[in-house]
């Protein structure tokens, strides 16, 4: 499929799709006319990338963890040469995400409680 289709089907722009490819997060093949051609699997990958970026992860972290997000992994998961700094950075990222999840959960619960009260009073 050409670039417009994965963009439209995932809510991304063609520019974002090209950016993800330039960062090595997705791949395409080239047609004889030099147009990019994306596979169906690109759709899920673009959606994952958008969600991870929305959660605040960098493209570098995303590139490192994407192979772990498929079952079974398609890209080789590289364990050789991983620096202690990388492990420390990933631990910090995990902790930051956990904190953000906790905050979002509290806010969701507060909104749900307020909504429940509103609905109860409306009866």
Q: pLDDT, tens digit, for every residue of 99-123?
A: 999 999 999 999 999 999 999 999 8
Spatial distance between the Cα atoms of 30 and 13, rounded to a whole number of angstroms: 19
Give the pLDDT of residue 82: 76
Give the pLDDT of residue 65: 84
Q: Which residues of the chain have pLDDT under 70?
A: 71-78
Give the pLDDT of residue 66: 83
Give the pLDDT of residue 71: 58
The beta-strand segments (E) located in the chain are 29-30, 36-37
Four-CA torsion 82, 85, 86, 87, nearest 10 degrees: 90
Q: What's the pTM value of the predicted model, to 2 decimals?
A: 0.71
């Amino acid at each position: 499929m050409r670039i417009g289709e994965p963009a439209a089907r995932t809510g991304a722009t063609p520019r974002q799709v090209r950016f993800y490819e330039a960062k090595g997060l997705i791949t395409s093949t080239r047609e004889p006319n030099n147009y990019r051609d994306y596979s169906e699997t690109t759709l899920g990958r673009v959606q994952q990338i958008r969600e991870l970026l929305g959660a605040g992860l960098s493209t570098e972290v995303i590139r490192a963890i994407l192979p772990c997000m498929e079952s079974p992994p398609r890209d080789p998961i590289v364990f050789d040469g991983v620096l202690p700094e990388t492990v420390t950075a990933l631990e910090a990222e995990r902790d930051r995400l956990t904190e953000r999840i906790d905050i979002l959960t509290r806010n969701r619960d507060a909104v749900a409680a307020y909504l429940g009260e509103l609905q109860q009073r409306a009866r």
